[in-house]
Amino acid sequence: MSTGSAAGGAGRGATDGARKYILGVDLGGTNIVVGAMSADGAEQYAMHSTPTRAELGADGVVARIVDMLEKSIAETQAKTGATRSDFLGVGIGSPGPLDREKGLVIVTPNLGWRDFPLRDRVGNGVKLPATLDNDANCATLGEWWIGAAKGAQHVVGITIGTGIGGGLILNGRLYHGANDVAGEVGHATIDSTGRRCGCGNYGCLEAYASGPAIAERAREALAGGEPSKMPQMVGGDLSRITAATVYAAAKEDDELANHVVRETARFLGTGIANLLNIFNPEVVVLAGGVTQAGDQLFEPLRAEVRRRAFKPAVDICRIVPGALHGNAGVVGAIATFAQHHGIA
């Protein structure tokens, strides 16, 4: 996490009276990222990450978030001379499903919360208006606002981690669908009789290309007995293989790991080709650990998309890694607040 603009002092003091700021929270099962930005998206301030400590329960986690926000306000004020009234509000990104209208976290398996009024609890805590949106939507909007999809009207964001989440930007705005389910691109079937997915469906993209699915496929490949550095990398305990093990081995030209990465590219390429034919975006932004595999992933992935999707849809679309890395969620949470209030 960076602390944002080194030029933060440029606008300090009385000359900056009109500048407004928005705070952001990216709540994850493992870490919370909090920060502030100028409302025009030009400057970042006080971006910090801290462990979530889910074991503290919802009240404890909210207290940590409010504390971090207060520190973010103070740090931003110190850099810019902003007054408290220059902070317009807080955008919050959270794992879903959510009730955006009521500001509720309906259920988050990682945190163990149910119907928790996260938006109002955080907003009341810092006495500022707040908005709540899905974490994958936020990450996509962040890349659209100031990242790899800046300037595009139609964007698909795909975040690959423990699961595969997604966000859709249509005509320059986040698209939520009829009841906020839209964008679940990880739960589109690419093999109707394929692997069982955690969601109950069969053959979902997530069942092939999420982090745990990549690790599982690596273990399956190793069971064939082919030589690989991976067993040695995990001290012989194959259960310790993660997607990161696979990328690291692939970087060292481990043939089996390369094979798993190419397969991952093929699965992702199939899912993305579907999105090109259905949704015809200008940019597909991929985020998450899998993008560490770099061209080893992106080149075969783009080839698979070219092989499958309509040429005009392929020709107009860039398929790129995200530019904001761990900050995409918090930047996007700030952008959702800005968009909700007609600023972005």
Total site size for its own copies, rule CB under 8 A = 50
Whole-angstrom CA distances from 197 to 80, 163, 275, 288 are 48, 10, 19, 19
The span of 19-27, 128-136, 193-201, 289-297 binding its own copies (CB under 8 A) equals 193-201
Scan residues 305-334 and list those touching its own copies (CB under 8 A). 307-310, 312-313, 316-317
Whole-angstrom CA distances from 71 to 48, 66, 194, 271 are 10, 9, 48, 42
Q: How far is the CB of 186 from its own copies (least distance, A)?
A: 9
Q: Which residues contact 187 (CB under 8 A, 6 or more apart)?
A: 164, 197, 199, 201, 204, 205, 206
Q: Are 149 and 155 in contact (CB under 8 A)?
A: yes
Out of 187, 262, 302, 340, name the contact with its own copies by CB under 8 A: 187
Q: Which residues contact 266 (CB under 8 A, 6 or more apart)?
A: 300, 301, 304
φ, ψ at 232 (rounded to 5°) = -65, -35
Q: b/e map of 249-267 (b: 16 or more CB within 10 Å)?
A: bbeeebebbbbbbbbbbbb
**H or E stretch covering 170:** strand 164-170
Out of 273, 324, 328, 344, name the contact with its own copies by CB under 8 A: 273
**Is residue 263 involved in binding its own copies (CB under 8 A)?**
no
Out of 15, 30, 110, 179, name the contact with its own copies by CB under 8 A: 179
Q: How far is the CB of 205 from its own copies (least distance, A)?
A: 10
**Is residue 153 involved in binding its own copies (CB under 8 A)?**
yes
**Is residue 175 involved in binding its own copies (CB under 8 A)?**
yes
**Is residue 213 involved in binding its own copies (CB under 8 A)?**
no
The amino acid at 3:
T
Q: Which of 204, 198, 176 is nearest to 274 (CA)?
A: 204
**Is residue 276 involved in binding its own copies (CB under 8 A)?**
yes
**CA–CA gap between residue 133 and residue 131 (Å, rounded):** 7
Q: How far is the CB of 277 from its own copies (least distance, A)?
A: 4
**Is residue 31 involved in binding its own copies (CB under 8 A)?**
no
**Is residue 185 involved in binding its own copies (CB under 8 A)?**
yes
**Is residue 67 involved in binding its own copies (CB under 8 A)?**
no
φ, ψ at 197 (rounded to 5°) = -105, 155
Nearer to its own copies, 92 or 276 (CB): 276
Q: How far is the CB of 203 from its own copies (least distance, A)?
A: 8
C-alpha radius of gyration, the chain, whole number: 21
Out of 63, 182, 244, 323, name the contact with its own copies by CB under 8 A: 182
Out of 267, 328, 337, 339, name the contact with its own copies by CB under 8 A: 267
Q: How far is the CB of 278 from its own copies (least distance, A)?
A: 6
Q: Are 94 and 132 in contact (CB under 8 A)?
A: yes
Nearer to its own copies, 123 or 281 (CB): 281
Whole-angstrom CA distances from 335 to 1, 18, 62 are 18, 19, 21
Nearer to its own copies, 182 or 238 (CB): 182
Nearer to its own copies, 182 or 248 (CB): 182
Nearer to its own copies, 26 or 206 (CB): 206
Out of 16, 67, 191, 216, name the contact with its own copies by CB under 8 A: 191
**H or E stretch covering 336:** helix 328-340
Tally of CB atoms within 10 A around 99: 16
Nearer to its own copies, 75 or 143 (CB): 143
**Is residue 85 involved in binding its own copies (CB under 8 A)?**
no
Most distant CA pair in the chain: distance in Å? Answer: 69
Residues that bind its own copies (CB under 8 A): 97, 153-154, 166, 168, 170-171, 175-185, 187-193, 199-202, 266-267, 270, 273-282, 307-310, 312-313, 316-317
